[in-house]
Amino acid sequence: MSRILLVLLVLAATAGAVVAYGDPDRIARAGDTVSDLLRKRPNAPARAVQISRGQTGEFALQARINGVPAPMVIDTGATSVVLTYETAKAAGLPLELLEYDVDVETAGGHTRAARLTLDRLAIGKLVERSVPALVVPRGQMKTNLLGMSFLDRLESWEVHADRLMLHGYP
């Protein structure tokens, strides 16, 4: 919502500048007004999730894929979100339509995966839509991976001691 308001504000300022084109002083005042409004804009609450490191050293979490709970492990070495066949089936994904034509290396070795797009992937307050993902065949992996196709959409993520912080855009 705040992004829409910001875009409308910038468009209004641009229209004002076009109208005032012949008067440089009016353009400067309009720019100052826009700057003042942006500075005074209340900061939207930051969307953030904190994840504690597990006993095995991994950052495990409970995600929701299309509203269905899905345990995941953060994997910054994974290019994409990767789902087990079982999780994809539970989330109602169209497994019968998938082509397993993507070569992937997993902890268990080489396999092939299928591309798909998740309508909605949520981790606490962080919700992303249309997230590219891969599904591996039944029995090829035991854990779902939260890879870079989700993490790259965040404003930032950082590890401090035994805590991982995921920061979404406001």
Contacts with 52 (C-beta within 8 Å, 6 or more apart), sequence order: 59, 162, 163, 164
> pLDDT-derived band of residue 107, with 50, 70 and 90 as boundaries?
confident
Confidence band for 108, pLDDT divided at 50, 70 and 90 = confident
Torsion angles phi and psi, residue 121, rounded to 5: -125, 120
> How far, in Å, CA of 10 to CA of 20, rounded?
15
Lowest mean pLDDT among 22-36, 90-104, 118-132, 152-166: 22-36
- Helix pair angle (24-40, 2-19), 10° resolution: 170
Q: Which residue has the higher pLDDT, 154 or 37?
A: 154
| Residue from 99, 91, 98, 146 nearest 123 by CA | 146
CA distance linking residue 112 with residue 102, whole number of Å: 5
Q: Across the chain, what does the average pLDDT equal? A: 85
CB of 70 closer than 8 Å to CB of 62? yes
Tell me the CA end-to-end span of the chain in Å, nearest whole number.
10
Per-residue pLDDT at 105 = 87
In angstroms, rounded to a whole number, what is the distance separating the alpha carbons of residues 49 and 43?
18
Binned at pLDDT 50, 70 and 90, residue 36 comes out as low
- Residue-wise burial string across 153-163, b where 16 or more C-beta atoms lie within 10 A, e elsewhere: ebeebeeeeee
- For the segment 38-72, what is each residue's pLDDT rounded down to a tens digit? 565 555 556 899 999 999 999 999 999 999 999 99
Residue 14's pLDDT band (cuts 50, 70, 90): low
Q: Are strands 163-168 and 47-52 parallel, antiparallel or unpaired?
A: antiparallel
For 124-142, how does the pLDDT look when each residue is reduced to its tens digit (9 = 90+)? Answer: 999 999 999 999 999 899 9
